[in-house]
Structure 1
Amino acid sequence: MWDVILVGILALIAGVALGFFIARRYMMSYLKKNPPINEQMLKMMMMQMGMKPSQKKINQMMSAMNKQQGK
């Protein structure tokens, strides 16, 4: 009886630990392939579209993007 409970608890702990490390590795690889946009990337994108980016406009766009991600 106690053997079954002990094996179940150990399997649960092992599953949680394994799941954590698999999820961590997946997120690391995802962030390498798709890095979050920062101010420099936004500035380069605006320059490629033919706009002359001002710091005020960059700040507005970054705050709008952060607000959108928060939802």
Structure 2
Amino acid sequence: MWYAVTAILALLAGVAIGFFIARKYMENYLKNNPPINEQMLKVMMAQMGQKPSQKKINQMMSQMNKLQKK
């Protein structure tokens, strides 16, 4: 009986600890390697038929950084 209870508690603790470790790892990864950079924005805007100016790209990057920090 005690073996089953101990096994279930160990399993739940392992799942919880694994979740928090994976979450922290992904937060750090996305912080260090943002999913969109300036070059990607230029390409996306060109594909949409817009001529990307540096001012517009800087505005979009600053807006994304603000949203990412929240």
How does the TM-score come out when normalised to structure 2?
0.57
Report the CA distance shift for 1:34/1:57 in structure 2 as closer, same or farther (over 3 A): farther
1:27 corresponds to which residue? 26
1:10 aligns with 2:21: no
1:36 aligns with 2:21: no
Could you list the per-position Cα deviations for residues 17-58 of structure 1 after superposition, in whole angstroms to 9, with x for gaps in the alignment?
Answer: 0000000000000000000116xx222xx6xxxxxx646246
Unaligned runs of 5+ in 1: 47-52, 59-71
Unaligned runs of 5+ in 2: 51-70
Q: Say what the alpha-carbon RMSD is for the aligned residues.
A: 2.2
2:48 corresponds to which residue? 56
2:66 corresponds to which residue? none
Q: Counterparts of 2:49 and 2:33 in 1: how far apart (Å)? A: 24
- Larger Rg computed on CA atoms: 1
